[in-house]
């Protein structure tokens, strides 16, 4: 990477020291979730960073000032070196979180991870009953495995979050999912409506909730937040297509967080590779600190100087930083366009109408992803 001065967009407010990194160890996964956020073209195992490469990167993360590392995938438990990676991260002073489907967890592996320094586990759930959850995940007995894994996690003294990805075909179970989170001993529940990138975009018509469903989900969440205050923290993310203002995606493009892909590419978010025409630098090519400060792709949409109207003069520009660039590209064909989730976008009404139509006519058939690489033994 050539040595050059920082671009004009890199003012003191454009970005800061990154707080956390999502370490996507692999794209391999035993589940076939129709809302999968991994790229349509996934990285093969032969391209994944090695144990030594990840350990070097963790040292660079700590030196850069990163506080947290979130081990993700695919399914990070596919990696046989996961315990070693957790131990190294803990050794360099990073707070460690495992984001997992939990279907490959064993009691012995939970104990080994806890001993290595793992602090937190986030388990994804696809429903409140096996009939719904296993159909969504495309994995037989997956729900029962998750319930058992949560018990092992809590017994090991680890903090637990449940991540419930919600859509039209499981929203009716939201009250039971809230109760399940309490019963499992989770400290936090993320009620996150599907975001339509990557593979999820292929299943949008089967996943999009109706406005009535969304209103009911909001009511359920708000009542649960009040009822369970001090018992269960509940985060809530609505589907962008029905929003009035865009969400502050990842705290803003390249401002506070970043991902490292299985092959080492540094991304501002997990979906950024859906934007064609951007080249993302790899930790195999340059030191991480140099990439964070000088990457052309990370600097492309940092701060607000890149914005077009009406975003540039919007009173909320320094709050939402333009919303989601991946969504702008997917729906408007231009990553610099106004996020169609914003009411000021010329596409906003059209996108809302599209969502409403798909919710009513989309059917219930999922297009599952089949990964030919297989899943090695834990």
pTM of the model as a whole: 0.92
At residue 373 the predicted structure's pLDDT band, cuts being 50, 70 and 90, is very low
Environment class of 77 (CB within 10 Å of its CB; exposed 0-12, middle 13-18, buried 19+): buried
Average of pLDDT values for 111-129? 98
pLDDT in tens, 158-177: 999 999 999 999 999 999 99
Residues 316, 27: contact at Cβ < 8 Å? Answer: no
Average pLDDT, the chain: 92
CATH 3.20.20.70 intervals, the chain: 20-238
Whether residue 342 is annotated as binding a ligand: the answer is no
Residue 6 has pLDDT above 60, yes or no: no
Residue 1 has pLDDT above 50, yes or no: no
CA distances from 74 to 24, 70, 130, 151 (A): 7, 13, 21, 22
User: 141, 92, 134, 91: which is closest to 116 by C-alpha?
Assistant: 91
At residue 37 the predicted structure's pLDDT band, cuts being 50, 70 and 90, is confident
Tokens of 85: 């990676």
pLDDT in tens, 14-27: 788 899 999 999 99
Higher pLDDT, residue 120 or 195 = 120
Instruction: Provide the 8-state DSSP code for 36.
Output: -
Label the pairing between strands 257-260 and 266-267: antiparallel
pLDDT in tens, 124-141: 999 999 999 999 999 999
pLDDT of residue 13: 54
CA distances from 182 to 176, 228, 231, 232 (A): 10, 9, 8, 7
Whether residue 29 is annotated as binding a ligand: the answer is yes
Whether residue 326 is annotated as binding a ligand: the answer is no
Q: What is the b/e burial string over 253-278, where b = at least 16 CB atoms within 10 angstroms of the residue's CB?
A: bbbebbbbbbbbbbbbbbbbbbbeeb
Instruction: Provide the 8-state DSSP code for 230.
Output: T
Three-state secondary structure of 352-374: HHHHHHHHHHCCCCCCCCCCCCC
CATH 3.40.50.300 for domain 20-238, yes or no, is no
Handedness of CA 164, 170, 176, 180 (dihedral sign): negative
Residues 213, 168: contact at Cβ < 8 Å? Answer: yes
Average of pLDDT values for 231-253? 90
pLDDT in tens, 287-321: 999 999 999 999 999 999 999 999 999 999 999 99
| Residue in the structure block whose two tokens are 């040595």 | 3
CA distance 96 to 21: 10
């Amino acid at each position: 990477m050539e040595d050059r001065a920082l671009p004009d967009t890199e003012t003191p407010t454009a970005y800061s020291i990154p707080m956390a990194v999502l370490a996507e160890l692999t794209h391999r996964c035993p589940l076939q979730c129709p809302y999968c956020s991994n790229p349509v073209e996934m990285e093969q195992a032969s391209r994944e960073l090695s144990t030594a490469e990840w350990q070097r990167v963790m040292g660079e993360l700590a030196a850069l000032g990163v506080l947290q590392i979130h081990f993700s995938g695919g399914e990070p438990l596919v990696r046989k070196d996961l315990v070693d990676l957790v131990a190294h991260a803990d050794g360099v002073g990073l707070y460690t979180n495992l984001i997992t489907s939990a279907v490959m967890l064993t009691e012995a592996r939970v104990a080994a991870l806890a001993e290595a320094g793992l602090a937190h586990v986030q388990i994804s759930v696809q429903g409140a009953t096996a009939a719904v959850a296993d159909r969504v995940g495309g994995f037989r007995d997956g729900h029962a495995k998750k319930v058992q894994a949560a018990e092992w996690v809590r017994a090991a003294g680890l903090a637990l979050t449940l991540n419930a990805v919600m859509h039209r075909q499981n929203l009716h179970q939201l009250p039971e999912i809230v109760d399940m989170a309490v019963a499992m001993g989770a400290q936090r529940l993320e009620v996150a409506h599907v975001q339509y990138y990557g593979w999820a975009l292929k299943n949008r018509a089967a996943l999009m909730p109706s406005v009535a469903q969304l209103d009911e989900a909001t009511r359920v969440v708000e009542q649960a937040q009040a009822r369970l205050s001090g018992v269960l923290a509940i985060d809530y993310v609505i589907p962008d297509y029905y929003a009035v203002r865009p969400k502050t995606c990842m705290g803003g493009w390249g401002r506070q967080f970043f991902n490292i892909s299985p092959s080492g590419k540094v991304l501002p978010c997990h979906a950024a590779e859906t934007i064609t025409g951007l080249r993302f630098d790899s930790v195999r090519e340059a030191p991480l600190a140099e990439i964070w400060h000088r990457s052309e792709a990370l600097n492309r949409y940092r701060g607000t100087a890149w914005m077009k109207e009406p975003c540039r003069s919007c009173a909320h520009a320094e709050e939402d930083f333009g919303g989601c660039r991946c969504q702008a590209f997917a729906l408007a064909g231009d990553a610099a366009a106004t996020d169609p989730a914003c009411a000021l976008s010329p596409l906003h009404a059209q996108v809302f109408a599209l969502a409403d139509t798909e919710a009513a006519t989309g059917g219930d058939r999922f297009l599952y992803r089949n990964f030919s690489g297989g899943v090695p033994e834990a």
